[in-house]
Structures are given as structure tokens and as C-alpha cells.
């Protein structure tokens, strides 16, 4: 709880060794409050006074805001202030109802999230029905899923995965935090039919492609059409 | 592949009374696997211990019922029905000793696994949908303050720039040596000299300002030139060497030699 | 709608019987955080739990945030969270923009370097043209020149000199290392015979004032204005 002029003093004649933790917390608080999007610890650290321990500062800040009307949360591996979820009832008035996804789209999204990287054929195998192009388009439009690459397999089908926006929207720090993931994994329900030896039954939204994935290359803008032919294969 | 079933008849759907398990309402199902899963749920047992045989029978019964009602089922429902009929027969018959095909038990297990997988992902989808969602349950800062990009100039200049700038100045002075030395103050003597030159050259009234402008090398010298010229001119008037004329207060001053004939 | 650990928040002395003040504070905090624009007390009150004292809630919230990285402030009669004013700097990113000095500035700098300590009138005498205030301001901004003192002469004009930053930027060890006229001629920067009387004085950027210099004293912040008046004298 220090005031401005004091803070300036601390910045200039900085005591050797311990930088002023309280000041660093204030700075992180200001940055995160102002930020239009979640920020990584590195981005925050770059703006803290020299020598500040960003992890400790964030832990402090998180503790300070726990139980308050606004909380510091980790989403998609980044940090952001969000209103406390139990206050949704007060804020719901402001809410622009997010587009309600159809059951089919929600299921498709879940399959992409839990089984990523996953191809359209694999999604269809799990759901037992064809996936309409509209469903994938809708999901791509939300910004929650993305085309990752191409499976190194006959037909080179496009692989789908989720985005950081997906994690942000659903308040997840990482895909490893998906609800019920452990149960699904434990029950052996994440193993695909496909390349047994390559399949790691853990979803990955890692930007790096897997061994069985190739880059999308230049047909990026027409993958759905190309993939459509593959359905029967 | 049609996802929902179409009814080819306008007549209202008949429903088997009293037995909801046999309710023929394919409208809500997304394909045969979905239908199978629903039928399996109605067995009210853990999917892991489900009777695939019973499930196959229920499915086939359902399809028969649909046919009886002359509902047109999409092809994939029929494909599934054919496969289940095959599976049912395999399950009922004794297993042939060394078969190259997968055993009936394996097929049943595979089907059960598919159903469990679908059910698992459905549960996950529901849990996902129920999470606190951004913009619905939790909110970001409504008025974020964007980072302001302040441009800080990085001055660029090389030693060469500096030296050549200096050399340029000095060079200018080499060449300008002949011009009269610039002074901060124009002395009375200099003013008098200038005015005497004026008398010598101009027979007519000459605007003092315009004449003196030639002596103002720099703007800030104007004051000293005018002040000294005025003092010198007053002295010369007193000595009878100069005539001054001013038509109105603050109007331009004119000077001429008293020796010259007034043109008038 | 109260959370278990909310009790921690009840730091504000809550009178028994009144509606839960801490909860009202949380609600106000969340509403103000999520608000796209400052809100009036009435607008906030409309969303608080029934019977909550909006003035007291806002006072509480303001006190909680006083001295933090973010403050609750009144803007035009409305309430909003704003970055603490002393932390404005963390919300600004310095983009370095390379800029070149104008020819006039470069020449003025060169004269200051060679003739320091030098007054504006002396610079003008060498350059043969008036030096604009802007030119000296720009040079002061570069950090390469500084006001040294005042010449002990009528009008007490300010004397200029270079700074250690100047030496650093131009890779000079000392101002004495600036090449003389003969060397400039040798380098092809000057042509013709160097006139005898045009010798260059030995520049000094010594922090100690010369005998003919007086300290700047307290009119430090208006030296240019004062000097400007001196031209006509």
C-alpha cells in the first residue's frame, strides 16, 4: 500500500538485493487490469521492476483477489482478471448470449478438444454420423478450433485442434484441465482406432505438429473441400 | 448420409402404447450409434456390463417397428441393422474353432467400446458446456486500457556528421572574411559615417529606414542601428549638416543634405 | 450466493443485521470491472443486493483499492476503475524511433562542442544566423548538450556545453579529442588556407565552471526566455 511518490523513489534508488515486492504487485495488478487479453508471465515480467520474482508476484496477486468480486485466473497458460463466476447472476444482464451451439456442434467440439489432433473421419467414427461441413465451419468461426496440419496417412486428412481462445472461453489453463479427462483416459476411451503405436491418449493443442502430422502447406484455404472427398476412403 | 429420418407419410406417428422403449421416434437421433446408445441407456445398467445381444435385438425390433409404420429409415440405420443381425447370429451360434475373422465376442466388445466412447464424449461435452464461460458467466475487463505506444526518438548522428557540420561553418567564415565584421553594437561613429555617405550620394529626401536597412546584418541589430543612427542624425542636424523630415508622429523619417536644392 | 472464504473479506466492519456488505462490495467490484464505461452510483445501486448502501459500498471499494495498482475513481460524477496515475508508465511502451538532427541542429551542436562554454549569441555569431529556440530544445532533448552556467557579462547569458552522453555517442574520449581545423583540412572537410585569426579555442566540458561563468542559480527553468530578451539589448 504505498503511494506514488514513494514508488518512484524505490525505482530509482533500488535497494540492492530485494526489489520492492509491493510495488511489483501494484505494477502487475495495473498491467493485468488494463490488458485487453490474457498475458503470459513473461510479458508481465518484462514490465515489472528489475529483479522482481514474477511467479511470487502473481501468487500474491492471486491470493489478494481470491474471494473478491474479481479474481486472477490462469487461462490458456496466461493470466487474466475475470469476474468471480458466482456473480454471473448479477452480470448476466450485460451478457450478450454467446451463440448457442447445436448439440452436434458441441459434441464435435468436445471430440476435437479431447482427441486432438483429430481428423474429420475420426470425429465421424466416434459420433457414428457424418459431420456436416456447416458444423465445422461454425466451430472454426467461433475461433475455438483450428486446422492444425495434415495426418501423415492416405488422403492426408486435415487434423483439427483447439485454440487458446477455446481455453479462454471455457476458463481452462490447458487442455490437460478438460473436465473428466482423467476418467476418459482411465477408461481407455481416448485411444483412437488410428495408428496405435503413435497415438498418445492425451489431447494436445501444442502448436508443434505431432510426428504423424504434416504442415497444412499452401492448400490452407481449401482444406474442407479436399477433405470432403476423403470421407468414403 | 441423412442425419434425421424423413417421414414419407403425413399421417400422425403412431406410438406403441405403454412401452417407451419401443417409442418409434427417430427424429431426435443422430444416427444409428446414437439410437443404440439410447437403447443401451434404457437397459439401465453400466455400459460395461451391457448385453450386446439384447441391445441388438432391441435395435432390430425398433427397425422392424419403423418398417411396420412404413417409416423410411436412412441407409445407415439399415446398414447397422444388417450388421447387428449378423452379430446376433454369430453370438447365438457356437464359435467356429479356428476362425480368421474376429470372434463374435470381440465384435460385441468393440461395439460396446464405441458406445462407451460416445457416451463418454457426450458427458464431457455437457461438462464443457456447463463450465463458467467467458461472456456468459465470467467477464473480462469491460474497458481495457490499451498499451499506449510512445515513440521515443533515438537520435542518430555520426562523428562525421558533427565534424563536417563544424567544417561547413568554418569554411563559410573563410569565404566570408572580407565582409565587415559583425558587431553587436553599431557605434555612433559608424552611424555618422553612414549618414555622411547618405548626404554625399542622395540629393533628394531619402527614407532613413530603407537606407539603414543595408547596415542591419541581422534582425537583432536593427535596434542598435536605428538608435545609433538617430543619435548621430540629431547631432548632425544640430551641426547643420543634415535635414530631417517627418510628416507625422511615427511616420518614416526622411533625410537629405541641406546643401541640395529642394525639388518641390 | 456467498462463498465459503468470503469471511476473509469482511474486513470492513459490518454492522450485524444489515445486508451482507461484503457481498455487495464484491458485486460492485465485479460490475465496475466488467463495465465498458463509468457507471453512476444509481446504476450500480440498481444491481446491488436489496437494501445495500451504495455510497458505503463504493467508499469501501475505494478504500480497498486506494494505494493499489488500480484505483476506484470518480470520472465526471461516475465511477470507474483506473490504473493508478503513478503507474501510467507501465501502460506505455516506448517505441524507439530513429531520428536525424536537422542541419541547423547539427551545426549548432558542432559549435557548442568546439566552443564550449558558449552562449547563444556566440553561436549565432559563428553561424551567422539566429538560432531558433527549437534547435536548442532539440539538442537539450538529445541529452548531448546542457546548460552550464551564466557568462559573467552584461545580460548574463546562459552558457552551453556538451555532456558525457555526447562523448559516449560520438565515441570521443574527451572534447579535446575533437580534430582541429588543420586536421579537418587534412581530412578534406575544409578547403583553402586556414586564416590565422580563425583559431579554435580549446573546448572544455569540465563540470567546474570557468572563471567567467556563474552558476545557473534558480532561474534554471526559464533560461531560454530570459536569454531571448537579451538579443535586442
The span from the CA of C196 to the CA of C178, in Å, is 19
Nearest to C67 among A3, A28, A66 (CB): A3
Q: Cβ(C65)–Cβ(A122) under 8 Å? A: no
> What is the predicted pLDDT for the residue at C198?
63
CB-based contact C130 B220, cutoff 8 Å: yes
Cβ neighbours around C30 below 10 Å, total: 25
- In chain A, residues with a C-beta closer than 8 Å to the C-beta of C87 are 7, 26-27, 30
Indicate the average pLDDT of chain C: 80
| SS3 call for C61 | helix
Share of chain B above pLDDT 70, in %: 80
Name the band, by pLDDT with cuts 50, 70 and 90, for residue A16. Answer: very low
Q: Cβ(C30)–Cβ(C10) under 8 Å? A: no
Cβ neighbours around C101 below 10 Å, total: 21
The span from the CA of B68 to the CA of B78, in Å, is 14
The span from the CA of C64 to the CA of C45, in Å, is 19
A87-108 residues labelled b (16+ CB within 10 A) or e (exposed) = bbebbeeeeeeeeebeebbbbb
The span from the CA of C175 to the CA of C148, in Å, is 15
> What is the predicted pLDDT for the residue at B169?
81
Q: Cβ(A123)–Cβ(A132) under 8 Å? A: no
CB-based contact B169 C189, cutoff 8 Å: no
For residue B256, pLDDT beyond 80:
yes
- Of B17-26, B101-110, C102-111, give the lowest mean pLDDT range: B17-26
Name the band, by pLDDT with cuts 50, 70 and 90, for residue C208. Answer: confident
Q: Average of pLDDT values for A113-134? A: 90
- Of how many residues is chain A composed? 233
For residue B31, pLDDT beyond 90:
no
CB-based contact C91 A31, cutoff 8 Å: yes
Name the pairing type of β-strands C158-162 and C118-119.
Answer: antiparallel
Tell me the β-bridge partners of B6. B72
> What is the predicted pLDDT for the residue at A192?
56
Indicate the average pLDDT of chain B: 77
Cα distances (Å, whole numbers) of residue A84 to A52, B49, C228: 28, 42, 61
Q: Which of B172, B157, B217 is nearest to C103 (CA)?
A: B157
Cell of A193: 482406432
The residues near B197 (Cβ < 8 Å, ≥ 6 apart) are none
Q: Which of A147, A154, A128, A118 is nearest to A229 (CA)?
A: A154
The pLDDT tens digits of the residues spanning C127-143 come to 888 888 889 999 998 89
Q: Which of C145, B191, A41 is nearest to B199 (CA)?
A: B191
- In chain C, residues with a C-beta closer than 8 Å to the C-beta of A30 are 69-70, 83-84, 87, 90-91
- Of B200-209, C41-50, C119-128, C178-187, give the lowest mean pLDDT range: B200-209
Name the band, by pLDDT with cuts 50, 70 and 90, for residue B16. Answer: very low
Burial of A148 (0-12, 13-18, 19+ CB in 10 A): buried
Chains B and C form CB pairs within 8 A to the count of 138
Side-chain half-sphere CA neighbours of A122 within 13 A: 25
> What is the predicted pLDDT for the residue at A59?
96
The span from the CA of C92 to the CA of C221, in Å, is 27
The pLDDT tens digits of the residues spanning B47-92 come to 777 788 888 988 998 888 888 887 777 788 888 889 999 888 888 8
CB-based contact B140 A184, cutoff 8 Å: no
Between B217 and B252, the higher pLDDT residue? B252
Q: Average of pLDDT values for A121-148? A: 91
Side-chain half-sphere CA neighbours of B7 within 13 A: 12
Cis-peptide, bond into residue A117, ω within 30° of zero: yes
The span from the CA of C29 to the CA of C44, in Å, is 10
CA distance A95 to chain B (A): 6
CB-based contact C99 B156, cutoff 8 Å: yes
For residue A34, pLDDT beyond 60:
yes
> What is the predicted pLDDT for the residue at A113?
95
Tell me the β-bridge partners of C200. none
Name the band, by pLDDT with cuts 50, 70 and 90, for residue A14. Answer: very low
Cell of A155: 488422403
Share of chain A above pLDDT 90, in %: 50
Crossing angle (nearest 10°) for helices B31-41 and A120-127: 40
CB-based contact C87 A26, cutoff 8 Å: yes
> What is the predicted pLDDT for the residue at B183?
53
- In chain B, residues with a C-beta closer than 8 Å to the C-beta of C96 are 151-154
The residues near B28 (Cβ < 8 Å, ≥ 6 apart) are none
Name the band, by pLDDT with cuts 50, 70 and 90, for residue C41. Answer: very high
Between B153 and A158, the higher pLDDT residue? A158
> What is the predicted pLDDT for the residue at C109?
93
Q: Which of B239, B233, B223 is nearest to B256 (CA)?
A: B233
For residue B3, pLDDT beyond 50:
no
Between A195 and C70, the higher pLDDT residue? C70
> What is the predicted pLDDT for the residue at B263?
47
CA distance A60 to chain C (A): 13
> What is the predicted pLDDT for the residue at B206?
82
DSSP string, C143-154: TSEEEEEEESST
The pLDDT tens digits of the residues spanning C66-115 come to 989 999 998 888 999 999 988 888 887 767 788 888 889 999 999 999 88
Name the band, by pLDDT with cuts 50, 70 and 90, for residue A231. Answer: very low
Name the band, by pLDDT with cuts 50, 70 and 90, for residue C155. Answer: confident
> What is the predicted pLDDT for the residue at A219?
54
Name the band, by pLDDT with cuts 50, 70 and 90, for residue C19. Answer: low
> What is the predicted pLDDT for the residue at C6?
36
Cβ neighbours around B28 below 10 Å, total: 11
Cα distances (Å, whole numbers) of residue A2 to A7, A49, B160: 7, 15, 49
Locate cell 517627418: which residue? B246
Give the ranges where chain C is alpha helix by DSSP (H): 21-34, 41-45, 54-65, 103-115, 120-127, 133-142, 164-169, 181-186, 223-228
DSSP state, residue C21: H
For residue A100, pLDDT beyond 60:
yes
The span from the CA of C75 to the CA of C94, in Å, is 27
Cα distances (Å, whole numbers) of residue A126 to A118, A129, A130, A192, B50: 11, 8, 10, 9, 19
CB-based contact B138 A83, cutoff 8 Å: yes
For residue C29, pLDDT beyond 90:
yes
- Of A99-108, B32-41, B207-216, C195-204, give the lowest mean pLDDT range: C195-204
The pLDDT tens digits of the residues spanning A144-180 come to 999 999 998 899 999 999 999 999 999 999 999 999 8
Burial of C85 (0-12, 13-18, 19+ CB in 10 A): exposed
- Of B203-207, B236-240, C210-214, give the lowest mean pLDDT range: B203-207
Name the band, by pLDDT with cuts 50, 70 and 90, for residue B13. Answer: very low
Whole-prediction pTM value?
0.60
Range among A195-204, C15-24, C222-231 with highest mean pLDDT value: C15-24
CA distance A219 to chain B (A): 27
The end-to-end CA distance of chain C, in Å, is 79
Which chains, if any, share at least 3 CB pairs under 8 A with chain B?
A, C
DSSP state, residue B139: -
CB-based contact B144 A34, cutoff 8 Å: yes
The pLDDT tens digits of the residues spanning C42-69 come to 999 999 988 889 999 999 999 999 989 9
SS (H, E, C) C177-230: HCCCHHHHHHCCCCCCCCCCCCCCCCCCCCCCCCCCEECCHHHCCCHHHHHHCC
The residues near B211 (Cβ < 8 Å, ≥ 6 apart) are B194, B198, B202, B255
Locate cell 536605428: which residue? B226
Between A192 and C100, the higher pLDDT residue? C100
For residue A194, pLDDT beyond 70:
no
> What is the predicted pLDDT for the residue at C218?
52
- Of A21-30, A141-150, A195-204, B118-127, give the lowest mean pLDDT range: A195-204
Nearest to C27 among A8, A30, A90 (CB): A90
Amino acid at each position: 500500500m504505498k503511494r506514488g511518490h514513494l514508488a518512484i523513489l524505490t525505482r530509482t534508488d533500488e535497494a540492492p538485493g530485494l526489489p520492492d515486492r509491493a510495488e511489483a504487485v501494484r505494477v502487475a495488478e495495473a498491467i493485468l487490469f488494463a490488458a485487453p487479453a490474457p498475458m503470459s508471465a513473461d510479458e508481465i515480467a518484462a514490465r515489472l521492476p528489475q529483479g522482481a520474482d514474477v511467479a511470487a508476484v502473481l501468487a500474491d496477486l492471486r491470493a489478494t483477489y481470491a474471494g473478491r468480486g474479481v479474481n486472477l485466473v490462469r487461462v490458456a497458460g496466461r493470466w487474466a482478471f475475470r469476474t468471480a463466476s458466482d456473480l454471473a447472476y448479477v452480470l448476466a444482464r450485460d451478457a450478450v448470449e454467446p451463440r448457442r451451439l447445436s448439440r452436434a456442434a458441441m459434441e464435435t467440439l468436445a471430440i476435437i478438444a479431447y482427441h486432438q489432433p483429430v481428423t474429420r473421419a475420426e470425429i465421424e467414427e466416434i459420433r457414428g454420423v457424418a459431420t456436416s461441413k456447416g458444423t465445422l465451419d461454425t466451430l472454426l468461426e467461433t475461433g475455438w478450433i483450428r486446422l492444425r496440419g495434415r495426418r501423415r496417412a492416405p488422403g492426408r486428412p486435415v487434423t483439427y485442434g483447439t485454440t487458446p481462445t477455446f481455453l479462454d472461453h471455457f476458463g481452462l489453463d490447458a487442455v490437460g484441465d478438460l473436465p473428466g479427462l482423467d476418467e476418459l483416459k482411465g477408461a481407455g476411451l481416448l485411444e483412437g482406432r488410428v495408428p496405435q503405436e503413435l497415438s498418445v491418449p492425451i489431447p494436445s493443442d501444442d502448436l508443434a505438429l505431432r510426428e504423424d502430422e504434416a504442415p497444412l502447406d499452401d492448400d490452407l484455404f481449401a482444406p474442407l473441400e479436399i477433405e470432403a472427398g476423403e470421407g468414403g476412403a | 448420409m441423412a442425419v434425421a429420418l424423413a417421414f414419407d407419410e403425413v399421417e400422425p406417428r403412431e406410438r406403441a402404447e405403454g412401452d417407451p422403449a419401443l417409442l418409434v421416434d427417430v427424429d431426435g437421433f443422430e444416427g444409428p450409434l446414437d439410437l443404440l446408445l439410447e437403447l443401451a441407456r434404457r437397459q439401465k445398467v453400466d455400459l460395461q456390463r451391457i448385453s450386446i445381444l439384447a441391445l441388438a435385438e432391441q435395435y432390430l425390433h425398433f427397425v422392424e417397428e419403423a418398417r411396420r409404420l412404413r417409416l423410411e429409415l436412412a441407409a445407415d440405420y439399415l446398414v447397422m441393422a444388417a450388421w447387428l443381425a449378423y452379430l446376433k447370429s454369430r453370438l447365438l451360434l457356437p464359435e467356429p474353432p479356428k476362425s480368421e475373422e474376429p470372434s463374435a465376442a470381440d465384435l460385441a466388445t468393440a461395439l460396446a467400446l464405441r458406445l462407451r466412447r460416445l457416451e463418454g464424449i457426450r458427458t464431457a461435452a455437457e461438462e464443457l458446456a456447463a463450465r463458467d464461460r467467458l461472456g456468459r458467466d465470467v467477464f473480462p475487463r469491460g474497458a481495457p486500457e490499451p498499451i499506449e505506444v510512445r515513440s521515443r526518438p533515438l537520435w542518430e548522428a555520426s562523428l562525421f556528421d558533427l565534424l563536417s557540420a563544424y567544417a561547413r561553418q568554418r569554411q563559410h567564415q573563410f569565404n566570408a572574411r572580407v565582409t565587415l565584421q559583425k558587431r553587436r553594437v553599431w557605434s555612433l561613429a559608424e552611424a555618422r559615417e553612414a549618414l555622411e555617405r547618405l548626404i554625399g550620394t542622395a540629393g533628394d529626401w531619402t527614407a532613413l529606414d530603407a537606407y539603414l536597412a543595408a547596415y542591419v546584418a541581422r534582425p537583432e541589430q536593427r535596434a542598435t542601428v536605428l538608435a545609433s543612427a538617430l543619435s548621430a542624425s540629431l547631432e548632425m542636424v544640430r551641426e547643420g549638416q543634415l535635414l530631417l523630415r517627418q510628416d507625422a508622429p511615427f511616420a518614416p523619417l526622411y533625410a537629405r543634405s541641406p546643401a541640395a536644392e529642394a525639388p518641390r
